[in-house]
Amino acid sequence: MGILEDKARARLFYKYLSTVYDEINPFVWNAAMRTEALSLFDIDEDDRVLDVGCGTGFATEGLLEHTERVHGLDQSAHQLERAYEKFGRDGPVAFYRGDAERLPFADDTFDAVWSSGSIEYWPDPVATLWEFRRVTEPGGNVLVVGPDAPKSSVFGRLADAIMLFYDEEEADRMFAAADLDVVEHRIQQAKPNSPRAITTLARVPE
């Protein structure tokens, strides 16, 4: 387990990162990548969508272009404060502070679940994906964006010492273990030589 797959360390990390997150984020996850992932996500204007690990609300902004029924959850109070600055406390998004492994929602609450830039911090990704499956209606989409594993074994070992990095084969295993049907994997990149993201679209069985 990487050092940032510990929840307390991750919260401390984001306490400081939150102050510059929106300036740093575009180097690894930018608006063009978000738009591409949203086209893959394919949600309707009436869909109720949960954004897990919403952070400062970068993905949330994109989701609002497709539906007004967006809910955001994050474990970091500091990240959520930045989100409140953007959207307000009584704005268009309902925000919750909570744990992705124990979502505070009833079964089948959402039409779809989105998570970008969060899986790498989950101590137990399969348990969290099971939670996504639980709160998503049958036939609903689940989209997860995470860091693609480096091709170099040396960089791979270094990356894994920090947080979770994974490839398509590992994604298939995790999603299957959570009884989610993988529809497509897509590798995304902000620019050549920048870190790659692996975007996985899956579906809850009917």
Phi, psi (deg, nearest 5) at residue 158: -65, -45
Please give the model's pTM, rounded to 2 decimal places. 0.85
Residue boundaries of the structural domains of the chain? 3-203
The per-residue pLDDT for range 142-183, each reduced to its tens digit, is 999 999 987 754 344 444 445 688 999 999 999 999 999 999
Instruction: Using pLDDT thresholds of 50, 70 and 90, give the confidence band for residue 18.
Output: very low
Class of domain 3-203: alpha beta
Q: Which has the closest alpha carbon to 169: 130, 204, 132, 200?
A: 200
Query: Quick one: average pLDDT of 97-123?
Result: 95
Per-residue pLDDT tens over the stretch 183-203? 999 999 998 888 899 999 999
Residue 194, number of CB atoms within 10 A of its CB? 12
- Range scoring the smallest mean pLDDT among 50-64, 77-91, 126-140: 77-91
Q: Which one-letter amino acid corresponds to residue 162?
A: I
Q: Please give the pLDDT value at position 150.
A: 76
Alpha-carbon gap, residue 118 to 74, rounded angstroms: 9
